Chain A
Amino acid sequence: MKTEDLIEALAADLPAAKPRQVERRILLALAGGGLLIVLGVDLWLGFRDDLTSAMMGPNFWVKAAYSGALGIIGFWLLDRLGRPGSQIAGPLIALATVLAVAAGFATWEFMTMAEAERMPALMGESAVECAPLILILSLIAAPFVFGAARGFAPMRPGAAGAAAGLLTAGLATTLYGLHCPEHTAGFVVVWYSLGIAATAAVGAVIGKVLFRW
């Protein structure tokens, strides 16, 4: 095909593109995926018994703030990685800051605890199942989020996949808080983070294949 003919063909098919079009689709995907995750938590895992009273206290919201912040940073990172020629220093610094603050907080909590309480606080009641559950809940929303993110044009498909995984896991983990009653910082920073990191790793593998263009 001659290049002039190609240009003609492309110009003939030119629907208007709205600003932030890809981001809007991702937000839509997050809403849909989030709804399914809530449904999954409700039907499969069950909401925590003390949900109403927990929502009155700070712990529930601090946990949600941690996983929510990671999800937002995932969105930011994905948005940058998905646009040719953009810088990713901003979201990376934010990510490092959030992780450092959370790790610092958990360490402080750990050190100020009586020695006998430390291990039970760190392991909670659900250490083993926590990370796999986060990964599974993420997989419920992943098709929507990754599908919408295909509109981007990442130079590094693997990294963009990890960012999309971080975004999805941030959403899933925040909603997992509706079920999980664990409340120590040590538990959240270790086990929640492990589940989120695992999701990001799976996302990187998926992105490598799915985000080619």
Chain B
Amino acid sequence: MTDREAQLKALMLRGLEGDAAAWRLLLSDMGAHLRPFFRRRLFDGGADAEDLVQETLIAIHAKRATWDRHQPFTAWAFAIARHKLIDHLRRQGRRPSHPIEEAGELFADHTVEDGATRADLTRVLAHLPLRQRRLIEDVRLKGLTVAEAAERHGYSLTAAKVSIHRSMKSLNARFAPASTDGGDDED
């Protein structure tokens, strides 16, 4: 986040001096950030999102003099994107369905699940016994190795592997679509 800020800010400063190459880079980079940002917030995804990307890039270009060199570039750019989004939704008579408050969100990695997915996950995992659940969280969500997680929770390596396997199986049985039941092999 801070690296990205420094990088974009440097491009912005060069762009303000008329450096076309830096400007091209900045706008492409911003486009790449904006596309998923708008897509996730529009019901109809695709076409409108690309329109909004273009509108925002044009605004960044046309209003570049309103960026205060002492302020973070990302906060400025995010405010413009948010303004364009709200404008668009207002024209359509809709309100944003997701809260939009954080500039960090625009520049976060978009592979991270958003709030709804996270809430679902918590609900699903709540069906497991606590110790089993912690193990799953560490291995499947936090990215620890099985050995590390096993040691943390006092399992032997084999016991941990078995526990994870059982957990996944029981969750699968409970939540997998009905048509695929019985697809798993037996222990």
Question: Interface residues of B, CB < 8 Å — how many?
Answer: 36
6 residue pairs, one from A and one from B, having the closest CB atoms: A84-B79, A85-B79, A153-B63, A16-B18, A85-B75, A11-B24
Do A22 and B65 have beta carbons less than 8 Å apart? yes
Is the CB of A1 closer than 8 A to any CB of chain B?
yes
Do B67 and A14 have beta carbons less than 8 Å apart? no
Do A84 and B83 have beta carbons less than 8 Å apart? yes
CB A23 to nearest CB in B, in angstroms, measures 9
Kindly list 4 other residue pairs between chains A and B, CB separation below 8 angstroms, not including A11-B23, A14-B18, A83-B67. Answer: A10-B23, A11-B20, A11-B24, A153-B59
- Which chain B residue lies CB-closest to A212? B87
Is the CB of A152 closer than 8 A to any CB of chain B?
yes
CB A201 to nearest CB in B, in angstroms, measures 23
Do B68 and A151 have beta carbons less than 8 Å apart? no
Do B58 and A10 have beta carbons less than 8 Å apart? yes
Do A86 and B63 have beta carbons less than 8 Å apart? no
Among B31, B59, B62, B63, the residue within 8 A (CB) of A7 is: B31
Do B58 and A84 have beta carbons less than 8 Å apart? no
- Which chain B residue lies CB-closest to A13? B61
Do A21 and B65 have beta carbons less than 8 Å apart? yes
Is the CB of B2 closer than 8 A to any CB of chain A?
no
CB A3 to nearest CB in B, in angstroms, measures 6
Is the CB of B53 closer than 8 A to any CB of chain A?
yes
Do B83 and A11 have beta carbons less than 8 Å apart? no
Instruction: Encode B50-63 as 1/0 by CB contact (under 8 A) with A.
Output: 10011001110111
Do A22 and B66 contact each other (CB < 8 Å), given the known contacts A3-B57, A11-B23, A85-B71?
A: yes
Do A84 and B27 have beta carbons less than 8 Å apart? no
User: Chain A residues near B158 (CB, 8 Å)?
Assistant: none
User: Chain B residues near A12 (CB, 8 Å)?
Assistant: 20
Is the CB of A44 closer than 8 A to any CB of chain B?
no
Do A10 and B18 contact each other (CB < 8 Å), given the known contacts A17-B64, A22-B65, A153-B66?
A: no
User: Chain A residues near B54 (CB, 8 Å)?
Assistant: 1, 3, 6
Do B68 and A83 have beta carbons less than 8 Å apart? yes
- Which chain A residue lies CB-closest to B63? A153
Among B16, B53, B71, the residue within 8 A (CB) of A16 is: B16
